[in-house]
Amino acid sequence: MQIWTEKYRPKNFEQFKGQEKIAERTKAFVKSKNIPHMLFAGPAGCGKTTLALIIVKELFGDSWRENFMETNASDERGIDIIRNKVKDFARTKSINVNIPKIIYLDECDALTRDAQQALRRTMELYSNTARFILSCNYSSKLIDPIQSRCAVFKFRPLEEKAIREIIDHISKEEKLNIDETTIKALYDISNGDIRRVENILQSCASISNKIDEKLIYDVISAARPKEIKSVMENAISGNFIRSRDLLLDTMLKHGLSGIDVIKQIQREIWNLDIDDNNKMKIIEKCGDTEFRIVEGSDEFIQLESLLASVSLLK
């Protein structure tokens, strides 16, 4: 069975959802057949690779594979990948068309400092025969000379409207039954990452054509918001023992790690019926707890400490 992230990948600018302004600007470049070096920066699953593929296919048509190279810098992050593989491809002219080739470097913020310097020089020397599209999560990790050579496009997480349109399209094609509550839950879980949405939907569809909120949380092994909210409400009311027991049951039932729990607690804080000052105190404590867990402290002791702090606010 085909992976849905590939099956439902947009094929042209009209199908591209959620980043319409960026799509319009890049479409103008394609129409003029004058592509600058470009830098796509933004979180995972927001359409960076998809837009790069659309640009290449619109530019080169059927011969796009011969004139396009994609490499992931997180796999080969040293200077050799730039000096050899990328440089060899960039120095030759494109096939069948009089347009510079396209080189797509994914996750280029993982390149070493030396590799970035080599890339800067390659972009400068071979601009007549090749254009670069660089993709990264954090543009600040790239050296300034690379950023100044590129037209920078800042991608944002997809908004609920765009995700809803994509879910509606998939549900019609796959004959799925998805209600409004489930769509809202998918959006909250994904944080604007459409790739995550599609993977969750495909996993759920293999179990049942009727997809509801419970099935989603079972598939992704996450606690439902009301379970985390119940833990926090018991702590706020001063019932520490009950809160701790509920937290342990929730973690064991869903197989959650301490970091997973902290992230879900942080999201639920804003739904608690307490004043804003106490919300800020709990958020501050969440930050301390998350840091200690990352540094190697015992997860459950740190979470107990968090709940104790919340109980003491009463």
What letter would DSSP give residue 92?
Answer: S
In the chain the domains, ranked by start, together with CATH numbers, are 19-154 (3.40.50.300), 160-220 (1.10.8.60), 225-312 (1.20.272.10)
pLDDT given for residue 290 in this prediction? 93
Long-range residue pairs from 84-88, CB within 8 A, at least 24 positions apart, any chain: 86/119, 86/122, 87/122, 87/126
- Please report the pLDDT score of residue 291 as a whole number: 94
Predicted local confidence at residue 38, as pLDDT: 93
3-state secondary structure of 178: strand
Strands (E), 11-127: 38-41, 68-72, 101-106
- What is residue 121's predicted lDDT score, i.e. its pLDDT? 86
CA atoms within 13 A on the CB side of 61: 6
Neighbours of 54 (CB within 10 A): 23
pLDDT along the chain (314 residues), means of 10: 83 87 90 90 90 91 88 71 80 84 88 86 87 90 90 91 91 89 88 90 89 86 85 90 91 85 89 88 92 91 92 83
pLDDT of residue 78: 67
Q: Is the CB of residue 108 less than 8 Å from the CB of residue 86?
A: no
**CA–CA distance, 100 with 82 (Å, rounded to integer):** 18
Query: Residue 211: beta bridge partners?
Result: 178
pLDDT at residue 285, rounded to an integer: 92
Q: Are 230 and 247 in contact (CB under 8 A)?
A: no
pTM value?
0.83
Whether the CB-CB separation of 293 and 259 falls below 8 Å is answered with yes
